[in-house]
Copies of this chain bind each other. A is one copy, B any other.
Amino acid sequence: MPGKKKTIKRYARRVDKLESKVKKLKARLKTGGVGAEIAPAKSAMVSPFAPARFPDLPEIDGVRFASAAAGVKYAGRTDVMLAEICPGAALAGVFTKSSTRAACVLDNQAKLAGNPVSDQGAAILVNSGNANAFTGANGQASVDAISGKVAETLGLPASRVFTSSTGVIGEPLPHERITNVLGELKTKLSPASISDAARAIMTTDTFPKGACATVAGEGGEIKIAGIAKGSGMIAPNMATMLVYIFTDASIAPDLLQKLLSWQVDDTFNAITVDSDTSTSDALILAATGKSPAAPLIEGSDAAIAFEKALRAVMTDLAKQVVMDGEGATKFVEVQVTGAQTTADAHTIAMSIANSPLVKTAIAGEDANWGRVVAAVGKSGAYAERDLLTIRFGDIVVAEKGWRNPDYSEEATSAYMKQAELVIGVDLGLGEASKTVWTCDLTHRYIDINADYRS
């Protein structure tokens, strides 16, 4: 019986794997200093998509960064970042639509609405380890305490201090730990420290995320540099996780906000790790106006080039968030085409990208395209079973309501072993399309999330 042989092989492989795990764990336990021994084990769990090193982001004239270890929750790492932005900068932002959003999100929204540009400077203060979300009146009190102290330290009005907090929900934020390091942060401020800032805002991220672009403006170059963090509770709704993008462009705040908002649906709103939308998602974009290029005018070539570059930076950061999704071993692009409306295409793409059955099949390198069919069917968006075409990469696995007569399990299974996969679904109904990005669902996701608070 081939079934039995397969089972024996599988069990033998499992024994091998478990034995080597036991060996490693025992070695680690024997060593006296467990802390030091544990660190390499953790770093062994870095996303397979982590870049070899953080990208070289250009310095943005008018922005300085600093980070520090405040001990908000994590020990032995930085957990607070400060960005100081020059007077006259234009600011824009998009935020989570969650009805239970955190105090700092509401505070940022109010401040941005009232005061997008100012002849005074601005600052962004972010801590990791505690989300300061669902903390009642204490939430706003902490935001006020931090904003006030940052304002005092940097000589700004508090209304120009934007804050974000990311980490566990519902725990009181020990904000004095943050305000205690503001002096240190001020002395450290440097235009070159953006990579340290990207590290300080990480939670379950396994690598810091950065992206940049340069745009040919009229009379000079415009630079864009951004950082982001993931990597669980990622299913942004009209907003994003924590992202900070800086540019030296000279641009009016309303145009900046418009250009930003236009990109969100196809970048951060087009990713999902686990279908759980956060209470704290925030993207803030600051334009310092320090570039030698002329101010950007709506519709000009330079503005169009800027929009394109901004979109590229946002797409890059969004994809990095998915690549570092909790437990991710596969990066999956879901392309839905032939829909009647973009909304339908988006709904179906997200239904596939969020399906635990699709995501576990991908983790198991199983070409289980039937689960893609089920995910299309359950979405509620308009689809006709017998018009569907489903592709894995370039392989047409199914068309006209059934498996492709030339379907090869071998070829499709070989494709599934790739780290980056494309699932294509053509609905055969119209011209609308949508591409979203997701990752697989693995044991590591459960390891991380069954024990996050402790």
- Interface residues of A, Cβ cutoff 8 Å to B: 1, 3-4, 6-8, 11-12, 14-15, 18-19, 21-22, 25-26, 28-29, 34-35, 38, 75, 96, 98-101, 131, 133-139, 168-172, 232-233, 235, 237, 274-279, 354-357, 360-361, 363-364, 366, 368-371, 373-379, 382-386, 388, 398, 400-403, 441-443, 445-446, 449-454
Contact = CB atoms under 8 A, between A and B. Distances in A.
Nearest to A28: B11
Contacts of A403: 134-136, 170-172
- Top 8 A-B pairs, shortest CB-CB distance: A169-B370, A364-B450, A136-B402, A100-B377, A277-B378, A98-B377, A360-B449, A170-B370
Contacts of A454: 6, 366
A451 B373 CA distance: 18
B18 A360 contact: no
B374 A276 contact: yes
A368 B452 contact: yes
A168 B18 CA distance: 30
Contacts of A385: 99-101, 134
Given A100-B377, A374-B100, A232 B168 contact: no
Contacts of A360: 445-446, 449-450
A99 B383 contact: yes
9 contacts: A4-B35, A15-B25, A19-B22, A134-B388, A136-B400, A170-B373, A275-B355, A276-B374, A276-B378
Contacts of A382: 99
Nearest to A12: B29
A172 B405 CA distance: 11
Nearest to A170: B370
Contact of A34 (B8, B101, B375): B8
A169 B403 CA distance: 10
A369 B323 CA distance: 27
